[in-house]
Amino acid sequence: MKTQAKQSEFIRLNVQSLSELALEGFQRRGYGAICVNVDKYNKVLDTAPHGFMPASMIAEIIDGWKTSKEREMILGYSPGREFVVLFQYEVGECLKVECYHCSILSAPVFPAVNRN
């Protein structure tokens, strides 16, 4: 699930449940994203653990948060119509983050930025 194609497929196949989770998370905790732990990907079930993470917690894991594209996406989506999915995994000693801006009504997925 470390490729753009696999990440886009995961979002497309789960768009309904992800959008519901994102809206519930926003209503309880404010802006944030659905974070997917790619390192714990289950090949048999073809899924990975995921859940809503508020922006304040995401800010702690992304270097350069204040000027990042991820921050712009996470604090700028329209709850109820859009949501953000953030895939995170380790590459060596570094945390890699890939962020997608998604629309609830139309399933296309728009990758924001790939960061090392």
Q: What is the pLDDT of residues 54-103, one digit of tens each?
A: 999 999 999 899 999 999 999 999 999 999 999 999 999 899 999 999 98
pLDDT of residue 46: 87
Tokens of 1: 């699930």
CB 42 within 8 A of CB 84: no
Q: pTM score, two decimals?
A: 0.87
How many Å apart are CA 23 and CA 1, to the nearest integer? 24
**Phi, then psi, of 62 in degrees rounded to 5:** -105, 120
How many Å apart are CA 79 and CA 11, to the nearest integer? 17
pLDDT in tens, 32-57: 999 999 999 999 988 999 999 999 99
CB 83 within 8 A of CB 102: yes
Rounded mean pLDDT, 97-111: 74
